[in-house]
Amino acid sequence: MIRDYVKEIVKIIRSTKDADKLKDLLSDYHEKDIAEAITQLSGQERAKLYNILDIQTVAEIFSYIDDVQKYLEELTIDKAAKVVSYMDADDAVDVLDDLSENKKNEIVNNLDEVTGKDVRKLLSYEEDEIGSWMTNNYVSITDDLTIRGAMSELVRQAGKHDNISTIYVVDKDGKFAGTIELKDLIIARENDNLSDIISSSYPYVFEKEKVSDCIEKITEYEEDSIPVLTMEGRIAGIVTSTDIVEMVDDAMGDDYAKLAGLTSEDDLKEKTFVSIKKRLPWLIILLFLGMAVSSVVGMFESVVAILPVVICFQSLVLDMAGNVGTQSLAVTIRVLMDENIDAKKKMALLFKEMKIGLLNGASLGLMTFVILGFYIHFFKKYVWMSAFLISGCVGISLVVAMVISSLVGTIIPMFFHKVHIDPAVASGPLITTINDLVAVVTYYGLARLLLINIFHI
Amino acid sequence: MIRDYVKEIVKIIRSTKDADKLKDLLSDYHEKDIAEAITQLSGQERAKLYNILDIQTVAEIFSYIDDVQKYLEELTIDKAAKVVSYMDADDAVDVLDDLSENKKNEIVNNLDEVTGKDVRKLLSYEEDEIGSWMTNNYVSITDDLTIRGAMSELVRQAGKHDNISTIYVVDKDGKFAGTIELKDLIIARENDNLSDIISSSYPYVFEKEKVSDCIEKITEYEEDSIPVLTMEGRIAGIVTSTDIVEMVDDAMGDDYAKLAGLTSEDDLKEKTFVSIKKRLPWLIILLFLGMAVSSVVGMFESVVAILPVVICFQSLVLDMAGNVGTQSLAVTIRVLMDENIDAKKKMALLFKEMKIGLLNGASLGLMTFVILGFYIHFFKKYVWMSAFLISGCVGISLVVAMVISSLVGTIIPMFFHKVHIDPAVASGPLITTINDLVAVVTYYGLARLLLINIFHI
């Protein structure tokens, strides 16, 4: 019942001798599946295929291949440039980015004039600017057409451009004047006015806007495409919903990476040295902050010298504070990503996180008190009274550390957000350190006060 | 230059007395902007607006409101049900999920027959099944039509359905037979065969497939919509690219949450108790694992009793091992999400992570050796020889712990992935614990051997 398209395609390519028939059979499949099939063929089989398929089809197939360098190198420079020329400008840029600097320049210099200009334009944007995501694959008409005129202009442009569900309208100065839903154009009567189906208040972004600043907005409109305007109000290109899927994936992937202390997302293809550069800065900062914690622990050496059993539970208190802090941090960062959050909501979040910290801390503190009491009595051979005093110390420290960690894990990212520093990057190490310090001081301080000074265990 | 649509809308609603004119003016704006404007109006102003706008428009606007309960309650049950009836089934379900159980049932019982059936159908899927994301908003035609017949069928259905860029084709048994790109239909000549523009090998998913299993596939095809089939091969509905954006956002959000030890994503609206339930299980597991680590630390009490200074640096070694393990975990999970990873690539990843662990560990170990040596000499008053022996112990432990942490942070998620347990959920606590144990044993073991047994500091 479930068809394996890729297998079918490989079989067809291997068994069909007649070029025209092969072309016809393949035309029925999705380019993404052909792309996957291609990676399973031998170099010779591929060479045969490249000759049979027209350049436009090869271009569409290649835009679905992840690691395209190897396959582009099987073509002559001239043919490779033609293939890239047929791609949407943003796909072309993605492919070029996979190549070595040499190969890339060689191909860029051989692109046809229009694509070359488009590609150079796209390459001129910073990676985090929305302009670097856009494509020229859209239909645009002027606002002075009739319904019939618009329809025939659409038919004319649809040959080259396949994002047709939203048609872009420009005024006589070439400025963006609104959009027409293709659906409305199709069901319109011939005598209707074009202006009646133009929505002139369609959302847009500017080419230099940062992706992180406008991604929330773009996503919320739930449109198939959004126009990207120059500062003068002309259409520079559009971003489509498949681009938006990728943008969301990238943005979330970066936040995910940052939570783990990587400066940005990492992948298998990346050189070891690049990965090290992404991770080392973080680790060095953490090392120095860790040394600061060490020197505070050092102040309690005397407690440990008198009562060595307390060191057993240091890692427990510190780890739990760290875990709670990370939970609060993750929640707060996701809430902050929603721009519509006001001071009242922030206070609500803070209060909620504290409440969660207190309730979770109380449950865990109580469990710790009971379990460790028995453990210390039976395994560490302390009398019942001392055993429960020590476990009580750990339990109370847990509650205090967890409440404060929740607070710190909420306030620090809010602070960084307020002063326009990316909270996902900056918060992690600071929160870990503050939580470690609080946990150490609470735990050893309480141990010194309660166990040594008051009860003289 | 930059227009504030929301402000404009609020102004228009407040200043326009004539109902028809208001309706006309608003028709120009995007429903998402009207939705935002509505939340800024007074209840009275909204009541006026609800009367002027037709139900379909209210439905579209309401599908963009996040916290829709409050606004639905401003309508009579009858009108609320009508509004929900006009929504796409998936939007309707989203809205209903926001309501209290009572209100929800009341509205479901008042829905028109078709929507009621669709909504109940959607509610029958599990939350993680792709079926729960689909919509009935698509155009479908039979495969025996002519080009002209297909076009007029499209025009007929486009009034009700606005996802028209891909037209779905069914055979005489009502089974999914392929798709037609609207673009191809528009540019086709009247005498062409419809079958020539049908792509019969279009990607599809089954209604009961888990979102996490097919999201990668769906995303890679980069299509505007993908059909969801029943086991018999009929079209149950489609998922559109805006649904896919949300799916990716959700899936990544969940992975992000899991990395932080939350069972799934949390938000501001959620009740405190629900949030506690999401976090407590993790914390309890971590508590018990932490106790295991504590008992191992306890085995080294004697080392601490002789040389209390070593406890200062326990947190340093443990924290650094934890940080490195989390980095490797985050990278590995993202790599595993790509289904095309084979054994060779896994080995490559493992090797790379170890190399990074070793190189980063060596840099940090060396820094630690030098800095702590001076620190221990000057602040802890040990002679140079002893100071550098102690800091050397910390440095070597760092290198060992970081290499092993990288390994553990890579192997554990791969193992869970292999046995089909979600690595993002299961890996965190296990990795932390193993890394803690390795770090403790290495550090205190080395301290006992080197500092006490050999050099008798």
Long-range pairs, B95-99, Cβ under 8 A, ≥24:
B95/B62, B95/B63, B95/B68, B96/B123, B98/B67, B98/B68, B98/B69, B99/B69, B99/B72
A157 CB-near residues (< 8 Å, 6+ apart): A139, A140, A164
| Min Cα separation B283/chain A (Å) | 7
At B296, the amino acid letter reads V
Question: Helix %, strand %, coil % for chain A, to 5?
Answer: 70, 10, 25
Q: What is the pLDDT of residue A17?
A: 87
**C-alpha to C-alpha distance for B167 and A133, rounded to whole angstroms:** 27
User: Could you tell me where in chain A the CATH 3.10.580.10 domains are found?
Assistant: 136-258
Q: What is the pLDDT of residue A1?
A: 53
Q: Chain A partners of B330 at a C-beta cutoff of 8 Å?
A: 256-257, 259-260, 262
Residue B146 contacts residue B164 (beta carbons within 8 Å) = no
Q: Chain A partners of B311 at a C-beta cutoff of 8 Å?
A: 297, 301, 304, 311, 314
Q: What is the pLDDT of residue A384?
A: 93
Q: What is the pLDDT of residue B7?
A: 92
Residue B150 contacts residue B254 (beta carbons within 8 Å) = no
The minimal CB distance from A28 to the residues B201, B297, B316 is found for B201
**C-alpha to C-alpha distance for A412 and A414, rounded to whole angstroms:** 5
Per-window interface: A 124-183 vs B, CB < 8 A: 154-155, 158-159, 162, 164-165, 181-183
**C-alpha to C-alpha distance for B310 and B313, rounded to whole angstroms:** 6
For domain A136-258, give the fold. Answer: CBS-domain (3.10.580)
The minimal CB distance from A186 to the residues B158, B222, B248 is found for B158
Q: What is the ipTM of this complex?
A: 0.78
Q: Give the residue ranges of chain B where pLDDT is below 70.
A: 1, 264-268, 338-340
CATH of domain B3-126: 1.25.60.10
Other Cβ atoms less than 10 A from the Cβ of B264: the count is: 12
User: Could you tell me where in chain A the CATH 1.25.60.10 domains are found?
Assistant: 3-126
Burial of B171 (0-12, 13-18, 19+ CB in 10 A): middle
Cα→Cα distances A143→A196, A241, A382, B21, B447, Å: 11, 25, 88, 22, 80
**C-alpha to C-alpha distance for B34 and B36, rounded to whole angstroms:** 5
Q: Tokens 């490195």, residue? A: B324
What value, to the nearest 5°, has the Cα angle with vertex A358 and ends A353 and A360? 90
The minimal CB distance from B252 to the residues A29, A256, A305 is found for A256
Q: What is the pLDDT of residue A266?
A: 61
Other Cβ atoms less than 10 A from the Cβ of A351: the count is: 12
Burial of A126 (0-12, 13-18, 19+ CB in 10 A): exposed
Beta-sheet pairing, A235-240 with A225-229 = antiparallel
How is residue B415 written in tokens?
A: 């193992």
Q: What is the pLDDT of residue B1?
A: 53
- For chain B, the C-alpha Rg in angstroms (whole number) is 31
Residue B208 contacts residue B233 (beta carbons within 8 Å) = no
At A316, the amino acid letter reads L
For domain A278-452, give the fold. Answer: Tetracycline Repressor; domain 2 (1.10.357)
Alpha helices in A194-271 (DSSP H): 194-197, 211-221, 241-259
- Does residue A10 sit at the B interface (CB-CB below 8 Å)? no
Nearest to B228 by CA among B137, B114, B143: B137
User: Could you tell me where in chain A the CATH 1.10.357.20 domains are found?
Assistant: 278-452
- Does residue A19 sit at the B interface (CB-CB below 8 Å)? no
Q: Give the residue ranges of chain A where pLDDT is below 50.
A: none
Per-window interface: B 291-310 vs A, CB < 8 A: 291, 293-295, 297-298, 301-302, 304-305, 308-309
Q: What is the pLDDT of residue B359?
A: 92
